[in-house]
Structure 1
Amino acid sequence: MNPTERFPHETLERLFHEPARLAIMSALCAADGALTFNELRGQCDLTDGNLSRHLKALQEAGAVTVTKRFVGVRPRTTVRLSETGLARFGDYLTALEDVLLAARRAVPGRRAGRGVVGARRAETR
């Protein structure tokens, strides 16, 4: 590697490179960009406090918007991906793919196209 080049992992955006936030962003992407607080809590298996803390970080970074309203007498909090958040998360995923590909290439005897799941399955046979 050229001394002026960055290691692939240095390009990962720390905002998203945290398991709970990665889960939140992935769940929102899979749901076409919006979920209620309760749906997110269930899908990401987080406590109310933990989810609130991670949503605050994502909201402060402009990755999501959080809307609170009442449906009848019940409060409802909806979390939506922002356009900026979606673009930044897409860039993060591309960087993560680069890191994984570089790591896969560095492991002796591994082919670049073979996934870890397939490798584990083959080892157990």
Structure 2
Amino acid sequence: MKSYLNNLHKAFENRTRLGVMSALTVNESVSFNDLRELLGVTDGNLASHLKALEKEQFIEVRKSFIGRKPNTSYMITKVGKTAFSEHLDALEQLIKEQSK
């Protein structure tokens, strides 16, 4: 097995998790509602994927209030940024190898 394949992380196999990580990579933080709208998923579906990424310590949650309304936003962690970058690099290597 090619060594770069070890950098493919199971946590990123789902399109919703890929979408979350992609959004958080290019934004300082993203609210739950914005992620839900961007990815076109239900509250429950998104919540379960966010919990899985948080469990891996790839993202962190920040809860606050805007006026009197609660607001939950998410940020990518240093660990998450590294793991996601390695995952994307491994995918790129796999694609390049297949196109030879």
Normalising by the residue count of structure 1, what TM-score does the alignment of the two structures yield?
0.73
Moved more, 9-18 or 20-29: 9-18
**Aligned-residue RMSD, C-alpha:** 1.6
1:83 equivalenced with 2:78 (yes/no): yes
Structure 1 residue ranges, 4+ long, deviating more than 2 angstroms after superposition: 5-11
Are residues 87 and 67 of structure 1, via their aligned partners in 2, closer, same or farther at CA, if it must alter by over 3 Å? same
CA distance in 2, matches of 1:83, 1:73: 31
CA distance in 1, matches of 2:41, 2:56: 20
CA distance in 2, matches of 1:102, 1:7: 13
CA distance in 1, matches of 2:26, 2:68: 29
Q: 2:8 aligns with which of 5, 12, 18?
A: 12
How many Å apart are 1:28 and its aligned residue?
1.1
Q: Which runs of 5+ in 2 are unaligned?
A: none
Higher relative contact order (CA 8 A, sep 6+): 2
Q: 2:67 aligns with which of 63, 69, 72?
A: 72
Pair member with larger Rg: 1
Map 1:43-122 to 2 at 5 A: 43-105=38-100
CA distance in 2, matches of 1:89, 1:82: 10
Q: Which residue of 1 aligns with 2:20?
A: 24
Identity, in percent, stands at 34
Number of aligned residues:
100
How many Å apart are 1:42 and its aligned residue?
1.1
CA contact 2:4–2:90 (8 Å) conserved in 1? yes
CA contact 1:8–1:102 (8 Å) conserved in 2? no
Q: Which runs of 5+ in 1 are unaligned?
A: 106-125
